[in-house]
Amino acid sequence: MPEALIDAATLRNRLDEHTPTVILDVRWKLGDDRGHEHYVDGHIPGALYADINQDLAAPASAAAGRHALPAIDDLTQSLQRWGIHPDSTVVVYDDNASQSAARAWWLLRWAGIGDVRVLDGGLSAWRDAGNRLETGEQTAADTGTATAVAGALPTWDIDAVARRGPDVLLVDARAGERYRGETEPVDPRPGHIPGALSAPTADNVDADGRFLPADRLRSRFTGLGIGDAKEVVVYCGSGVTAAHELLALELAGFEAALFPGSWSQWSADAERPAAVGENPR
């Protein structure tokens, strides 16, 4: 299995053998902000809770988006509170087909943490393997020494996205109905950035929320024309599920950058154009 992923059996073996592993529970869903409550009710033994809004993003704003990248000093504090050291292996998981866990995977990698893995299939895979959960709050055994350093993975800002040339492929990772502008549950305007290609993250996983094999992911993205682009930039609603697309692209062997502000930032600026319907333009 690619190093970006870890399966439940391997994680269980690491815990049984007391192999140092930092586990982060990143449960969060759009419309359900009770991730911490779910964590307290039951989580993988030893897991610490990572809050999407407080730990993995800056405060929401129209100017920067709903989940802008956190300040680097704030992220360093979180890394150290979680007991992360420069050589730590970090495993992240959720209960939503890894859509929020992938944000933690991408953000920690962006901040310079080299060994970060997503539990493939998330909490369901752990339970289905017959593993137990524990309840209550957990804290790290020690204070970490890792320091976040921005920029280990590429990002594009809103102006760079607007200026992109024809050899740059912009990918919209949201559900198709949001891309087409049929519904918009949270952001100021419906639609998508003109020229963006629709590639919903739901198509990256199987019915159990596990990532498709690398060859199938590669076939999917090649069929969308991603292999022909000089550069690929991915966005979603607020930069969370776009990280899921970036993980799938990495598994498939493609490189891509994140537009962190995503549609929440773009649509909040009335001077930025929007397109609706199936046609990218």
Domain residue limits, the chain: 5-128, 158-266
Cβ-count burial of 159 within 10 angstroms (0-12 exposed, 13-18 middle, 19+ buried)?
Answer: exposed
Per CATH, the homologous superfamily of domain 5-128 is Rhodanese-like domain (3.40.250.10)
The predicted pLDDT at position 234 comes to 98
Active-site residue among 6, 116, 193, 236? 236
The predicted pLDDT at position 2 comes to 57
pLDDT mean across residues, the chain: 96
Residue 29 binned pLDDT confidence (cut-offs 50, 70, 90): confident
User: Rounded to 5 degrees, what angle do the CA atoms 118, 120, 126 make?
Assistant: 105
Per-residue pLDDT tens over the stretch 87-140: 999 999 999 999 999 999 999 999 999 999 999 999 999 999 999 999 999 999
pTM, 2 dp? 0.96
CA distance 50 to 47: 9
CATH tag, 158-266: 3.40.250.10
Q: Is 27 helix (H, G, I), strand (E, B) or coil?
A: coil
Q: 274 with 137: CB under 8 angstroms?
A: no
Per-residue pLDDT tens over the stretch 143-161: 999 999 999 999 999 999 9
Q: 91 with 119: CB under 8 angstroms?
A: yes
Amino acid in the structure at residue 46:
G
CA atoms within 13 A on the CB side of 2: 19
Query: Do the domains spanning 5-128 and 158-266 agree at the CATH topology level?
Result: yes
Cβ-count burial of 274 within 10 angstroms (0-12 exposed, 13-18 middle, 19+ buried)?
Answer: middle
- Whether 236 sits among the annotated catalytic residues: the reply is yes
CA distance 17 to 10: 11
CB atoms within 10 A of CB 281: 9
**Which structure tokens are listed for 269?**
């600026």
